[in-house]
Structure 1
Amino acid sequence: MGGHLKQANLVTAQQRLRDQVAHALRAALISGELQPGRVYSAPALAADFGISATPVREAMLDLVREGLVEPVRNKGFRVTEVSERDLDQYSELRALIEVPTVGAVTRSATREQLQELRPVAEEIVARAQEHDLIGYLDADRRFHLGLLALHGNDRLVETVGDLRKRSRLYGLTALDERGLLVASAEEHLELLDVMLEGDAPGAEALMSRHLGHVRSLWASEDS
């Protein structure tokens, strides 16, 4: 029995390390430390982390499934390059899903359900003001997916989560330095207020504008 427990604890520890490495790699992608088009080897990254190559390789495979990196035979993993056309298509898909869903949630959600998202919206603004980019993206993800979850369609939430990963913000650091992040962050509080007023068309218009702003931020970095 004791042997089984030790084995289970070991598996849990390995999974946790893999998840931590995957999180750190995503953070490096977002901040631009890992650059699009460049190939990185698991052993070299593992040396940076001060750990063995196995959890890094496993974490990289998680990122392959998310479309963030692609395997390069005998060399490692190349960071996926996202073109303007890709970003346009991801943005269009997000708008097609999120705009009408926000309208539907405005009509169906209780005030209590919406108010529960306020601390997350406030956290997005706080993280932007603190220049905490990873915290900002994490809170932003929790807000958007939490809002969509109120619609009750798990696959819809999953799809938008995947689109968000694939269209991650390149050069977020530069956007932060130009002071563009706080204004985008504050739009979440504005959206929540409109939804609490029961204004479904207003919420749809605001979500459409917000997603448009996010896309234009990408464009201003990529161009």
Structure 2
Amino acid sequence: MPGNGTAVTRSTLRQQIADALRDEVLAGRLRPGRAFTVKEIAEQYGVSATPVREALVDLSAQGILEADQHRGFRVPEYSLADYRYMIEARSLVTDGMFQALAAGHPAFTAAPAEDARTAAMLATVRRRGEEAQRAATAGDLTVLIGYDLRFWRELGALFGNPYLGDFLHRLRVQAWVCAVQHLRRLPTLRGRLWAGHTELVEALARRDTETARTTVAAANAHSLALLEDLSDS
């Protein structure tokens, strides 16, 4: 088809630029309030404005950037109150998901050992959790964020509702954007970050939704307490 190669190239550039900018924000190198234009980013990467604009719009939809009308885009400045609201919204949704699982949601009506697909998905999630735990224990925030996002994304897929998965992923990305600006101030994060990923997987493998709910609540409380402590210091 005429023009197909151009479309693929533009789509690839769009994703590459979006990935690069997302990583810059999550690494804390693009600070909250940092503003920039499509022209500035296009010149920085040596590409045309179209894929840059599309990438920035994509990141705005994910809550990683904010569109600044008539002026370009900027990194959002989330407050501690925003973080609390993100945790609350996430908790309300995940609690509902656990209640549905306990009531016999199709995602866990069969024991994982009898359900090859569920068992395989849990094995993949467990590997992500192990990597996330190692990074959290070592205090390697950049590696942790990558594995943590994949861990929760794949864990949410077990429920089988892509709309819930997308919603929770967006909230988790936003929460990391908010948390990074505080966590990067610490000289070391070793031993400070939540590292209970595999405990959650094991609870779900046993279909122990009450322990899973308790584990998620502990993770949220740990993260919120850490940010509150840093905000007060």
Aligned to 2:211, the other structure's residue is in SS state helix
What is the 5 A alignment of 1:11-160? 11-102=7-98, 104-105=100-101, 108=108, 110-111=112-113, 112=119, 113-128=121-136, 133-160=141-168
Q: What is the SS of the residue equivalent to 1:58?
A: helix
Match of 1:207 among 196, 213, 216: 216
Query: If the length of structure 1 is used for normalisation, what is the TM-score?
Result: 0.82
Identity of aligned residues (%): 30
Pick from 179, 188, 193: which aligns with 1:177?
A: 188
* Cα shift at 1:209: 0.5
Q: Deviations over 1:88-117 (max 9, x none)?
A: 111101011123424655772614143332
Note the aligned Cα RMSD (angstroms).
Answer: 2.6
Secondary structure at the aligned position of 2:67 is classed as strand
> Is residue 138–residue 189 contact of structure 2 (8 Å, CA) maintained in 1?
no
What is the rounded CA distance, in whole Å, between the counterparts of 1:103 and 1:174 in structure 2? 38
Segments of 4+ moved more than 6 angstroms: none
Q: Following TM superposition, by how much is the alpha carbon of 1:206 offset from its aligned partner in structure 2, in angstroms?
A: 0.9
Q: Which residue of 1 aligns with 2:197?
A: 188
Give the secondary structure class of the aligned counterpart of 1:81.
Answer: coil
Name the CA shift for 1:50/1:153 in 2 (closer, same or farther; >3 Å).
same
Shift of 1:83: 1.8
Matched residue SS, 2:196: helix
Q: CA separation in 2, counterparts of 1:135 and 1:125?
A: 10
TM-score (norm 2): 0.79
Say if 1:147 and 1:71 are closer, same or farther in 2 by CA, change over 3 A. Answer: closer
Aligned residues: 217
Amino acid paired to 1:173: R
Deviations 1:124-175 (A, max 9, x none): 1344467654442232122112222212222211211121232223234345
* Structure 1 residues 15 and 220, CA gap change in structure 2 (3 angstroms): farther
Tell me, in whole angstroms, the C-alpha distance in 1 between the residues paired with 2:5 and 2:138. 37
Q: Deviations over 1:7-44 (max 9, x none)?
A: 11211111111111111111111122212123212222
Instruction: Give the 3 Å change call, closer, same or farther, for CA 50–136 of structure 1 in structure 2.
Output: farther
Q: Which runs of 5+ in 2 are unaligned?
A: 114-118
